[in-house]
Amino acid sequence: MTRASLDKQPADVAAMFDGTAERYDLMNTLMTGGQDRRWRREVVRAIGARPGERILDLAAGTGTSSVPFAEAGADTVACDFSLGMLRVGVRRQAGVAGLRFVAGDALRLPFADGSFDAVTISFGLRNVADTALALRELRRVTRPGGRLLICEVSHPPNAVLALGHKAHLRYGLPLLARVSSNPDSYHYLAESTLAWPDQAGLARLIQDAGWDGVRWRDLTFGVVALHHAVNPVVKPS
């Protein structure tokens, strides 16, 4: 199995997730003590998908995060660059109306400008090789006035909780990873989480990519954060 490094070479990251595809959703639940389900419900609530909208769920993996948008009546695209994850998703989500799976790289999205009313990415942004470029690409494919929602790991602002969180990543996660089909991938996930910017740091990256109205809300004491933003409408001069 492949272990990606923190330089996040796309082929290595894709191969790593190919190797975890079958047990990916189960491992997420085990790693988070079931909190991942709550976090995904918060994403669904925050996006507020409506019938007739077009929504891009980037780094969608097996499509678990995408299904509620389609069930709300939105035309939903689950996009990922791991073909292994997409194959599992196509099989598991067969019959979900309004949901389609598309292979794509976050740095070169295979969609036209302004294609979507809303774009979202959950627990995938830290795995791309160029965060700033990915944020610009997401903005490119979002219509003016469209919305962005990022659900990503973060850092608890409370110092005591932060120490406990780091201990879980460094010692607890590798123990859980032993039941994974690719334990090395979870060592990478722990390392990438520790290296990821805090809430304010990510907000600056989003703003620098041209998004407006950037704000965030902590979940589970800041272990995860939801970042919201809007693609600005350019007024004619």
Q: Are 118 and 149 in contact (CB under 8 A)?
A: yes
pLDDT attached to residue 4: 46
pLDDT attached to residue 34: 63
At which residue do the structure tokens 């004619």 appear? 236
The domains of the chain, with CATH numbers, are: 10-230 (3.40.50.150)
204-to-59, 72, 77, 142, 156 alpha-carbon distances in Å: 21, 31, 27, 19, 18
pLDDT attached to residue 195: 85
C-alpha dihedral sign at 149, 152, 156, 161: positive
Q: In this structure, which amino acid lies at residue 57? A: D
**DSSP letter assigned to residue 235:** P
* Backbone phi and psi for residue 210, each to the nearest 5 degrees, phi listed first: 100, 5
- Pair of tokens at residue 221: 């004491």
The b-or-e profile of 197-224 (16+ CB within 10 A means b, else e) is eebeebbebbeebebeebebeebbebbb
At which residue do the structure tokens 């007739």 appear? 52
Element (H, E) at 215: strand 212-219
Report mean pLDDT in 10-residue bins for the chain, 237 residues: 49 57 55 73 95 97 94 97 90 95 96 98 92 98 98 89 76 62 67 88 98 97 95 83
- CB count, 10 Å around CB of 195? 9
CA distance 115 to 106: 15
Q: Are 123 and 149 in contact (CB under 8 A)?
A: no
- Pair of tokens at residue 38: 């709550």
Q: Are 20 and 27 in contact (CB under 8 A)?
A: yes
Q: What pTM did the predictor assign?
A: 0.83
